[in-house]
Structure 1
Amino acid sequence: MKPVSELEGKVCLVTGASRGIGKAIAHLLDAGGASVIAVARPSEALDALAEEMSERTTLIGADATSDAFLEQIDGLHRLDVLINNLGTNVPRLMEDVDDGLLDLMINLNIRSTYRISRSAVRRMSQDGRVINITSQMGHVGSARRTVYCMTKHAIEGLTKAMAIELAPRGIRVNSVAPTFVETEMTKPMLADPEFADFVKRMIPLGRLADAEDVARAVAFLCGPGAKMITGQSLIVDGGWTAQ
């Protein structure tokens, strides 16, 4: 991937960084010269990431929903960019969603994003940036995704409210909302031929996004080309939501 030189020297915290979209974002920011703080639960994937990144990278093996992780953010000397990439989805008919699953998705997709953002903006000075990874499902609805759509719509609303509140401090807040990307989370869904065919029919460009498509959108919002963009959602969906 082409380096993004305007990121050089920036301290960028990326959650969910060991796999999929988060890993692609961490790699691109690192290639652009940023000092990346890559956060994920301890795993072989996180260990492998350590071998792939530059010496500027700091890896934190932690539960990003925990109070202990928030204390680590509070202890940072400097933070320029936060990429909120935590989230999960368990597709299920609304009538089959039990309270345990409901609470799990609300806690991970909404509550943790809010808590991490609250801690992070305390460490940011002028020209900070927050980018929330949401979904096209934060703009439309879909069967078997009532909880997921609800949580992603919530983060789109949070993005707008944060942008207004933090603008006087020069902190820009945006979201990147991708369509289906083949990741560890979506692979089982896309293994269903009928569902995979539906997804491709719904994308006018006729293909899934890849993790690098999302990472490049993040890099754009981090850079000077987006200096007057805040409170917006950059939808990387191949045209799904345009229909």
Structure 2
Amino acid sequence: MNTNYFRGKRILVTGACQGIGRGIALELWRNGATVVALSNQEANLKRLKAEYRSIETAAVDLTDWDRTREVVEELGDFDGLVNCAGVCITEPFLECSPRSFDITMSLNVKAILNVSQIVASKMIVKKIKGAIVNISSQASMAALANHTAYCASKAAVDSMTRVMALELGPHNIRVNSVNPTVIMTDLGRQAWAEPVKANAMKSKIPLGRFGEVQEVVNVVVFLLSEGASLVSGTSLPVDGGFLAT
């Protein structure tokens, strides 16, 4: 990969305060991009800014449609966008509540629609050859017990990614999704700390292990780069072979 490619590029990363989103923001920053980190976690944004002063930050609740549009509009133009913000509420199918479903769809799907509409519209006006990456999940393609709302939302992300690629492609904007397995973020380590639960999932992964944040980051950075110049409309598993079984 051309390590100078991201110099002079401006990239927005949502959900950039922790986990995969933070890893993506920092890797892009290391590669010379001007990074704008967007999150609803103001305290974490302040910590990120204190540690990496050249990273720009913006705070907004992405489930607030109108306020999100105001904030993202004010941020200016971008060459790239990573939609990483998301939520996972686990409930058995028969107990999945309307509230849980609405919260999940609002953040995991509707927020991507909202932010991407604003960013892509500006790319088109400014004739920016852009790239958008949506963080999906292996759960978009495989049923996971107690993940009704989450699985539905990530399937919607993949479907919307394909439509975005179709309609934005003529404007030289590429759109792809990345579909990780369980990733060992701080939250991931907590959620999968129980050995029986963890081993049951690992037994379905041919490589026999969960993923690390950097392994997802590497794929996202590739899809944003010129190395993926003909890649668009894909949903790329980073799952150790889980979806192959």
Question: Normalized against structure 2, the TM-score is what?
Answer: 0.93
Instruction: State the SS of the aligned residue for 2:203.
Output: helix
Is 2:96–2:148's contact at 8 Å kept on the other side of the alignment?
A: no
Question: Is 1:40–2:39 an aligned residue pair?
Answer: yes
Instruction: State the SS of the aligned residue for 1:225.
Output: helix
In structure 2, the residue matched to 1:194 is 196
Instruction: State the SS of the aligned residue for 1:107.
Output: helix
Question: Is 1:65–2:67 an aligned residue pair?
Answer: no
Note the C-alpha offset of 1:184: 4.1
Name the CA distance, whole Å, in 2 between partners of 1:180 and 1:101.
21
Is 1:4–1:219's contact at 8 Å kept on the other side of the alignment?
A: no
Name the CA distance, whole Å, in 2 between partners of 1:122 and 1:214.
27
Query: Where in structure 2 are the equivalents of 1:87-102 lying within 5 Å?
Result: 87-102=86-101
Query: Where in structure 2 are the equivalents of 1:58-137 lying within 5 Å?
Result: 58-66=56-64, 67-124=66-123, 125-137=127-139
Note the C-alpha offset of 1:45: 2.3
Greater shift after overlay, 72-81 or 232-241?
72-81
Amino acid aligned to 2:117: R
Name the CA distance, whole Å, in 2 between partners of 1:220 and 1:163.
17
Note the C-alpha offset of 1:5: 2.4
Question: Is 1:150–2:152 an aligned residue pair?
Answer: yes
Note the C-alpha offset of 1:27: 0.4
Cα 1:225–1:123, aligned 2, differ >3 Å: closer, same or farther?
same
Name the CA distance, whole Å, in 1 between partners of 2:73 and 2:143.
36
Cα RMSD of the aligned pairs, angstroms, is: 1.6
Note the C-alpha offset of 1:3: 9.0
Name the CA distance, whole Å, in 1 between partners of 2:243 and 2:151.
14
Note the C-alpha offset of 1:69: 2.5
Is 1:3–1:31's contact at 8 Å kept on the other side of the alignment?
A: no
Total equivalences in the alignment: 241
Cα 1:197–1:236, aligned 2, differ >3 Å: closer, same or farther?
same
Structure 1: which 5+ runs fail to align?
none
Question: Is 1:176–2:178 an aligned residue pair?
Answer: yes
In structure 2, the residue matched to 1:216 is 218
Greater shift after overlay, 46-55 or 149-158?
46-55
Greater shift after overlay, 59-68 or 193-202?
59-68
